[in-house]
Structure 1
């Protein structure tokens, strides 16, 4: 199962980097989101995908699951949601002000 999760995280990282290198602002935001999802899967995989009882101390249970990776991922999801929302608002405002979402035109390059 760890191999499948690692391959899936790699695919998300690859697709995210590909989208980050595009010229459209919305594709760049999608790329950043895909990279954050790949990081979530990577953190979950590195926390070992083992099954066990919930981390509540009780008598007779010796195999507990580790809650730290899930807590880190939950915090990361909230932060990435906020960043994605901010980037979408900034992209909307930039496209309305400038009339384009092409990064080359937003940079002011005179080649195009």
Structure 2
């Protein structure tokens, strides 16, 4: 299972970087979304996968006898999801406004400083 998730992380990274290198602003945002999901999956994998065990430690024993899920990577991923949602929302509004002003989403055409073009 971990091998499959590691391969999926690589695919998300590759697709995200490919989309970021395109000339369209929409593809740039999609690439950032894919890259963010790849990072979240990587953090999840680094925390370790334990099936069927909640990230709750019982009060009784001082030393843990069972395997449990690490709560810190899960909390980091939840925080990253919220932050990336805010970033994506802001970027989508910014792209919409830029498209209204410039009438294109091509980065090369937006880079020109000619007002008559």
Normalised to the residue count of structure 2, the TM-score between the two structures is 0.87
2:56 is the counterpart of 1:55: yes
How far apart, CA to CA, are the structure 1 residues paired with 2:88 and 2:45? 23
CA offsets per residue over residues 41-82 of structure 1, 9 Å max, x none? 000001011232441324477322211110000000000000
- In angstroms, what is the RMSD of aligned CA positions? 1.9
Please show how residues 1-112 of structure 1 align to structure 2 within 5 Å. Answer: 1-51=1-51, 52-59=53-60, 62-63=65-66, 64-108=68-112
Give 1 or 2 for the bigger CA radius of gyration. 2
How far apart, CA to CA, are the structure 2 residues paired with 1:30 and 1:53? 33
Normalised to the residue count of structure 1, the TM-score between the two structures is 0.90
Structure 2 unaligned spans of 5+: none
State the number of aligned residues: 111
